[in-house]
Amino acid sequence: MSKYLILNCDDFGQSRAANTAIQHLLSEKKVSSATIMPPAPGFQEAAAWVRETGNRNIGLHLTFTSEFAGFRWPSLTGHPSLHDESGNMHMTVEAFERNADPAAVKAEMLAQFEAVKQAGIPISHVDNHMGSLYGIATGRSYLPTVLWLCAKRRLPFRIFRNIYEKDEFLASIPNAKEILAKVVTLADALGVAMPDYLLSHPYHIEEGETYDRFKASLIRKLYELPEGVCETYIHPGIDDEEMRRLIPSWEKRVWEYRLVQDPDFTYALRDAGVTLTDYYYVKSHLKRPRVGSIMALLKLLVKQLQ
pLDDT value at residue 296? 60
Residues 6+ apart with CB under 8 A from 249: 203, 204, 205, 235
- The 3-state DSSP class for residue 46 equals helix
pLDDT value at residue 162? 93
pLDDT value at residue 302? 45
**Cβ contact 25:257 at 8 Å:** yes
Residue 4: its H or E element? strand 3-12
Low-confidence ranges of the chain (pLDDT < 70): 1, 289-306
Calpha distance 168→3 (Å, rounded)? 20
pLDDT value at residue 166? 81
pLDDT value at residue 221? 94
Calpha distance 224→220 (Å, rounded)? 6
pLDDT value at residue 305? 41
For residue 60, list its beta bridge partners: 36, 126
pLDDT value at residue 102? 97
For residue 199, list its beta bridge partners: 232
**Cβ contact 96:71 at 8 Å:** no
Domains and CATH numbers, the chain: 3-305 (3.20.20.370)
pLDDT value at residue 93? 97
Residue 184: phi and psi, rounded to 5, are -65, -40
